[in-house]
Amino acid sequence: MPVDSEVTIVTVYPDLLGTYGDGGNGSVLRGRLVARGMRASLLEIRSSTPVPETADIYLLGGGEDAPQIEAARRLRASGALSKAVANGGVVFAVCAGLQIIGESFVDGDDKPIDGLGLLDLRTTKMGGPRAVGEILLESSLPGYSGRISGYENHSGGTQLGTGVKAMGRVLVGTGNDRHSRCDGAFSGKVVATYLHGPVLARNPKLADYLLKLIVGEMPAIQDRTLVQLGKQLHGDRVAAAYRSESKRGVLSAWRSLRG
């Protein structure tokens, strides 16, 4: 894409899929383009409005069970995201968004609901308590090394098929399920994760990874305050994840001592 053309970012259904500040992902992407002197527009497409098919980046956030089912129904009926991917668009989906763009997930009665089939993954109930708390990954994305921090809150557990790879290895927290120690998935320009945060604010490098899929190599951001704040937030949240892990360890040792 020519450097001077405008990058269009779409936040999909913020009225249904917007828990834990995931709507902030769009602002981060736009802000990092503008800070480089590039042009960007951010469209918030509510569920009553048709989703455009030729935007550059599509963002889906987390959601409660009922809005999630409604979002999946509307997106399946429109077919817009499949066409957007065929047009070369990037999709970045968080939690409920991850479950929706997979092959299937389940409702509260364990009845399977069709997803959009953009990623080869399936979600069922994990069983046991919800996975809630700080989560930390080691990235498995191509050309991206380093840690990715976030916050998770989900009851679904996701199994990956052979058509995708995990986005990261879990260092702290749960991720896709209780066994695989991996989180999220990617295939081509479709990337999904359980990490809220907003995850792109906590991990500016992940924001730039997604932008590069569309615009290629980008100039460095000159605004030192912005760069510094991003680094500081990333470092603080990585440290918070390790602290929460040691707190969980102390708690479970205390519980086992009490018998």
120 near ligand GLN, rule: CB under 6 A: no
Query: x/- site string to ligand GLN, residues 148 to 187, per CB under 6 A?
Result: -----xxxx-------------------------------
Q: How far is the CB of 195 from ligand GLN (least distance, A)?
A: 10
**Nearer of residues 93 and 241 to ligand GLN, judged by Cβ:** 93
Q: Which stretch binds ligand GLN (CB under 6 A): 59-67, 114-122, 177-185, 232-240?
A: 59-67
Task: Collapse the DSSP code of 172 into the 3-class scheme (helix H, G, I; strand E, B; otherwise coil) and give the result.
Answer: strand
Whole-number Å distance between alpha carbons of 252 and 248:
6
Q: Does 31 bind ligand GLN (CB under 6 A)?
A: no
CA atoms within 13 A on the CB side of 56: 22
Half-sphere exposure of 47 (CA within 13 A, CB side): 18
What is the spatial distance between Cα 182 and Cα 120, in angstroms, rounded to a whole number? 15
174/203 with CB nearer ligand GLN: 174
25 binds ligand GLN (CB under 6 A): no
Q: Which is nearer to ligand GLN, 60 or 221 (CB)?
A: 60
Which residue in the set 18, 26, 31, 63 belongs to the binding site for ligand GLN (CB under 6 A)? 63
Min separation Cβ 65 and ligand GLN, Å: 5
67: contact with ligand GLN by CB under 6 A:
no
Q: What is the 3-state secondary structure (H, E, C) of 88-130?
A: CCEEEEECHHHHHHCCEEECCCCCEEECCCCCCEEEEECCCCC
Span near ligand GLN by CB under 6 A; candidates 43-51, 63-71, 81-89, 114-122: 63-71
Binds ligand GLN (CB under 6 A): choice among 8, 11, 25, 68: 68
Q: Toward ligand GLN, which CB reaches closer, 53 or 65?
A: 65
31: alpha, beta or left? (left if phi > 0; alpha if psi -120 to 50): alpha
Given the complex with ligand GLN, which of 65 and 70 has the nearer CB atom? 65
Q: With CB under 6 A as the rule, give the number of residues binding ligand GLN.
A: 12
H-helix or E-strand containing 170?
strand 168-172
Residue 79 Rama label (left phi>0; alpha psi -120 to 50; beta): left
User: Which residues within the stretch 87-106 sit at the binding site for ligand GLN (CB under 6 A)?
Assistant: 95-96
Q: What are phi and psi of 140, to 5 degrees?
A: -115, 10
Does residue 70 bind ligand GLN (CB under 6 A)? no
Per DSSP, what are the bridge partners of residue 29?
A: none
Q: Which residue is nearest to ligand GLN (CB)?
A: 62
Q: Which two tokens stand for residue 142?
A: 């191509």
* Distance, CA of 103 to CA of 46 (rounded, Å): 23
Contacts with ligand GLN by CB under 6 A lie at 19, 62-65, 68, 95-96, 153-156
